Amino acid sequence: MTYTVRPASATDAEAATGLLAELHAHFDVHRPADLLRRTRRLSRFDYGKGDPPPLLILDGDAPIGFATYDLSLPSKWWSGSLRISEFLVTASARGTGAGALLLAELHTIARTAGVVVREPDQAGPEVFTTEERYIGSHVIHFAHERRCAEHWIALRAAAAENGWPAPRLDDRWHTELHDDPEPGHLYAEGEVPFLLLPDGRVVTARFRTVYVEEYLGHGPENRWTLALDGRELRTHGQLRIDHSWSRGENRPALAVPVDGGALMVSYEYYDSNHFGSDSGTIDYLIDLDTNTVTRHEHLTFEPD
């Protein structure tokens, strides 16, 4: 066998995506949209400064492994580093020295750039020459995603046991093709049981997780509505609900009558931005006669 290592090119897109799919399968990751995005990006060879293309290792002409990495160059404030994001030697070539050769090339790239390879926080350096497969936690947060999946499984079981409307989650960011996120891109949408009415019905909270671009920072933001018997309730002002509800972590509480004939439930709320954080509780009041929702916030702002 004759091993060579070189950067991937646009003509390697299909083979590189097959290797990435093998890496995802090993770690039980299901992200078809990510595979499509990465294939399209490599096909167009759309890489910028500090964001190099994948590094391939080949046996003859056949790719048998790859590595992706981030390269940050030295500056006045930073010594720079090369951080490995993903690393795979395909099963048939494992234990033949391919992983060591691929790792050595990464060290050569780092030395040429005047930096060092930064060892992963969650894996020792031998993982690249023994297991020969690795995904950094900054690429895919395995523990976080598995916790989220467990929350939704438990919520579905609780809903079935208690006769609540079945929760739903459509994780579009992982299943549909997007380029780099732009304002308006939909990450996910879903619905969860939110509060119990004395007559046995359940008000559900619907969310749409949308990518927003604003002064306080870019990223996904949840936008909420409440519904009863499948029909949206009218809301006075912007509806704010803690993000944990969109992760399936919470269970609905029984709404109690208050003065004026409304039904109320109180939930904890937390949110943060560059200036500080809001924390406390929000009372949600449902008026069944008018099919409206109002809220009373009891929040404290803590500056950073």
Residue 267 and residue 128 share a domain: no
The band of 62, judged by pLDDT with boundaries at 50, 70 and 90, is very high
Same domain, 278 and 177: yes
Contact 282, 297 (CB under 8 A): yes
Q: Which domain holds residue 28?
A: 3-135
Is the pLDDT assigned to residue 216 strictly greater than 60?
no
pLDDT for 145: 73
Domain boundary among 78, 105, 135: 135
Domain CATH code at residue 83: 3.40.630.30
Residues 237 and 276 placed together within one structural domain of the fold = yes
Residues 92 and 196 in one domain: no
**Beta strands 202-212; 186-196: pairing state:** antiparallel
Name which residue leads in pLDDT, 184 or 290. Answer: 290
In this predicted structure, what is the pLDDT of residue 139?
Answer: 62
* Pairwise pLDDT comparison (50 vs 136), residue with the higher score: 136
98/159 same-domain check: no
Output the six-digit token pair for 183: 């304002």
**Among candidates 227, 207, 210, 229, which has minimal Cα distance to 219?**
210
Task: With cut-offs at 50, 70 and 90, classify the pLDDT of residue 37.
Answer: confident
Helix (H) or strand (E) holding 205: strand 202-212
Same-domain pairing of 131 and 150? no
Mean pLDDT of 175-190: 76
* Mean pLDDT across the chain: 89
**Among candidate residues 101, 135, 169, the one where a domain is terminated:** 135
Is residue 147 domain-shared with residue 265, that is, in the same domain?
yes
State percent of the chain over pLDDT 90: 62
Mean pLDDT computed over 61-85: 90
| Model pLDDT, residue 59 | 95
> End-to-end alpha-carbon separation of the chain, Å?
58
How confident is the model over 60-68, as a mean pLDDT? 94
What is the phi-psi region of residue 53: left when phi exceeds 0, alpha when psi lies from -120 to 50, beta otherwise?
Answer: beta
For residue 290 the two structure tokens come to 């008018």
Mean predicted confidence (pLDDT) in 61-69: 94
Q: Are residues 30 and 105 in the same domain?
A: yes
Instruction: Say how far apart CA 178 and CA 156 lie, in whole Å.
Output: 29
Please give the share of the chain, as a percent, with pLDDT higher than 70.
Answer: 93
Cα gap 132→95, rounded to integer Å: 8
Tracing tokens 């060591």 back to the chain, one arrives at 100
> What backbone phi and psi angles, to 5 degrees, belong to 221?
-135, 135
pTM of the model: 0.67
| Choice among 52-61, 87-96, 137-146, 193-202 with the minimum mean pLDDT | 137-146
**Listed residues 114, 135, 156: the one ending a domain:** 135
User: What pLDDT shows up at residue 217?
Assistant: 60
Judge if 66 and 109 occupy the same domain. yes
Q: Range with the lowest mean pLDDT among 6-10, 101-105, 212-216?
A: 212-216
Q: How far apart are CA 93 and CA 295, in angstroms?
A: 61
- Rounded-to-integer distance, Cα 15 and Cα 86, Å: 16
Q: What is the pLDDT of residues 107-166, one digit of tens each?
A: 999 999 999 998 777 777 788 999 999 987 756 666 777 788 899 999 999 999 999 999
What six digits make up the tokens of 159?
């809903």
Q: Give the closest residue to 218 by CA, choosing from 178, 274, 173, 141.
A: 274
